[in-house]
Amino acid sequence: MESVVVVRGEAELFARAAHLFEAATEELACAANALRTWMGTHPTTMPERTPKKVRKLFRLSTMLEPRWAEHARIMASHGAQVRVCAHEVNETILLDGRVAIVAGDTSHGLRSYTVITRPELVHGVASLFEAAWRGGTDLAVHDAEMSELRPVVPAVLEALNEGWTDETAARALGMSLRTYRRRVADLMTALGASSRFQAGARARELGLV
C-alpha cells in the first residue's frame, strides 16, 4: 500500500486496510466524534487478536446517547482505557503508532478515509490524538458527572424543540425552574452549542432526536 491512500466508503476501507488491523499487536487508539463511526458500524473488522493496549476517546456529545454510553462502559470492562473529550475530535484510528486512518467527509456521497503509513505524517496525527487524550476525562469520572443529565436529555430536547417556556418545560418535566435551566446549560455544553437553537440543530445532526 502507498504511504498515503484515500479510499471511499467503509467497504473499500475494509478491503484495503483489514490486514493492517490484523497486524496491530501493541496498541489500538481511536477517537470518535459522532454516533456513527466505522468501528461501530463494522465491528467484524476488529482484529481477532486484541492489541495489548486499547484506548478510545469519545466526544462528549456522543455520550448523551445511552447506547453509546453503555458501549463505552463495556469497552472499559474489557480492559480498554476510555476517556471523554468536550471538544470536537475527528474520527481517527491509530495502529501501533505506525498506521493512521483519518475519516473525511461525505461530500462525494461515500465517506472518505485517508490511510497513512508515512512515519512523519503518522507522528503528526498521533500528536493531535495525544493532545486530545490528555484533555479528556476518564469514563468513570464522566459517568458520575453525567448521571443526572443523561436520563432527562430526550425530554429536555423535546421541550426545546417544542419551543416551550422554561416555566412550562420545568413543570412538565417535574423539575424546579432552576434545575431545568441547569440541565439545559449542561446539555448545551455537552453539545458544544452556544444557543438553544444550535443545541437543537446539533442534536438532530447527531441523531439524538
pLDDT per position in the chain (209 positions), as tens? 679 999 988 888 888 888 888 889 999 999 987 655 555 555 444 445 678 899 999 988 888 888 888 889 999 999 999 999 988 788 899 999 999 999 987 767 788 999 999 999 999 999 999 999 999 999 999 888 888 888 898 999 999 989 999 999 999 999 999 999 999 998 998 888 889 988 888 888 777 77
Domain 4-141 has CATH 3.30.930.10: no
| Inter-CA distances, 46 with 43, 82, 178, Å | 6, 17, 45
C-alpha cell at 67: 447506547
Tell me which residue has cell 468501528.
Answer: 39
Amino acid at 4: V
What values do phi and psi take at 201, rounded to 5?
-65, -40
Contacts of 48 (CB under 8 A, 6+ apart): 22
Q: Locate the domains of the chain by residue range.
A: 4-141, 148-206
pTM: 0.77
Asked if 74 and 56 touch (Cβ cutoff 8 Å), the reply is no
Q: What is the CATH number of domain 148-206?
A: 1.10.10.10
